Structure 1
């Protein structure tokens, strides 16, 4: 069903006029136990205590230093609990997997010079402005893909996520993705990269996505979307909105989310500035220096950071999971059939831009 922008506007306006609707309702966990906001501190402490009892926790603390305590903050644990519908056991399992991932991947140590080549074309970058809710805005342009290395692409994705989180205001946890499909072609499609991207974002950055706006996706993107959707959790797909420039409601929708003077013209805004790799590099280097100073300051009174070896004892965990935190088997994918179907749509539709996608 195509997302109706007018419905979004009506809902947000209704909530604004009825503040009582902003109070979190009782939530049902997978064990059919109702959870109220008053229970949240107790559940957060349960997850923290469970993690602290793990036999490998001392090694994890030593490797992560202060990063460990950031991961076990109330805000962080709350995100894992929300991702697992307030199920303590599943949130604990998910958080442990993320701690192990951080020990091995060391995302906080990735610097601009490590990923600069991936950023050259502006395929993914943090915008210089926030949305009206104070959320970081990440802009993606699939047509600007300049790498065939999934490993390099994911490393740059992680760098962008860490940078976007670092730049969030204290009261905000989430970010917005703006995906510009102008010039998109089937050569930009990669099931492998998309699957790995979904895995990293959902399993290690839970509840960080506030909204993903797919702007003017062509009709031939539809078969790809049908293939990708099973990799995404229902909570994630509900945050994906298909938006079209020729929709009469698009202007009001975008204006409800962004300041028009700051929003890029590619998304209907008035900002005509183009991505400049030199200016962006300076911004990122400046952020790196601030982050490094921040980490050093915090680490001075705690266990020094260590680096995990290639043969780390933390490498043996399978972290693939579905929305309930259970292991899930990836669906069988016939990429050739998907590409053939996309090409058929593109040929019949004069490039595939003349019809809407039914998400």
Structure 2
């Protein structure tokens, strides 16, 4: 599906997501009241299957298949000896230079093969599509982050919400971020652009914490207390576009925890815009299985203490 710019799609989203199902009953705008109804196991399964995501309630049946899948992905991630892929990487670099030989894009010579490989794999090894995607990224980065980084002063309104924390690492060495959805509100001062800058700031922080050979990160999205006041469709779409278009093959896994019933309506709107590869990495977690699910991927010493682990919360601006 071709994704449109998030600035122009909010109105179209509502119509394209309509269905014969009854919407959730109206609730008080107070976030706490919105969370009195907690989804049961069937609701969680419906959220997951609506966009082919996974859920902790499926893990017994899918354990063996998931394990084999992850092993294959890990083997693929470290397979630098693939002759076909190496040839395509060289061709990708050449095509990207030919598409725009401007001085800014000449920096492609400084881009490592690991970065190019992510774009190549995001386009199923189609060199022309990968080159176009990579050139688009370079142009966007040069225009949106002209200094090469986002300073805290450029995202002051977003930082005040104190909604993101950088934790330890999972069992594969991937850095873990924790995001509190109930602390996010549509930015009416800095607007959508400031939120986008905040996302880039956060991604850059995550990348800086990656060890050698590691390219992916893990996110825990905590929706406890989330209500309609936190619903920011344009912001969610902007985040998806940036992640999928400019940082492909970076997300390792997204755990969504403490899911309130009212979130189901928003999920139906957003999920059609999530590409297939990203959907496979999303796990909706039932409250009763929260710690046990996290333990499958994250050692107890690295799990946030609010979930029964031993890692204290570290605000992103302190990392």
Q: Give the alignment's TM-score, normalised by structure 1.
A: 0.65
Distance 2:286 2:64 in 1: 19
The answer for the alignment partner of 1:235 in structure 2 is: 277
Distance 2:217 2:223 in 1: 19
Distance 2:237 2:118 in 1: 22
The answer for the alignment partner of 2:256 in structure 1 is: 214
1:172 partner SS:
coil
The answer for the alignment partner of 2:30 in structure 1 is: none
**Residue 134 (structure 1) aligned to one of 168, 173, 182:** 173
TM alignment of 1:252-271, pairs within 5 A: 252-271=292-311
User: Does residue 134 of structure 2 align to residue 95 of structure 1?
Assistant: yes
Indicate the RMSD between aligned Cα atoms, in angstroms.
Answer: 2.6
Deviations 1:98-156 (A, max 9, x none): 011011012732122322442233212322x1111111112111111253322111111
User: Does residue 138 of structure 2 align to residue 84 of structure 1?
Assistant: no
1:99 partner SS:
helix
Aligned length: 258
Which one has the largest radius of gyration?
1
Q: Which consecutive unaligned segments of at least 5 residues does structure 2 have?
A: 1-48
The answer for the alignment partner of 1:281 in structure 2 is: 317
Q: CA deviation at 1:238?
A: 1.1
2:262 partner SS:
helix
Distance 1:117 1:133 in 2: 34
Distance 1:20 1:204 in 2: 24
1:262 and 1:96, CA in 2 relative to 1: closer, same or farther beyond 3 A? same
* 8 A contact 2:174–2:218 mirrored in 1: yes
Q: CA deviation at 1:282?
A: 4.2
Structure with the bigger RCO (C-alpha within 8 Å, sep 6+) is: 2
Q: Give the alignment's TM-score, normalised by structure 2.
A: 0.73
**Residue 158 (structure 2) aligned to one of 118, 122, 126:** 118
The answer for the alignment partner of 2:5 in structure 1 is: none
The answer for the alignment partner of 1:182 in structure 2 is: 224
Q: CA deviation at 1:24?
A: 4.2
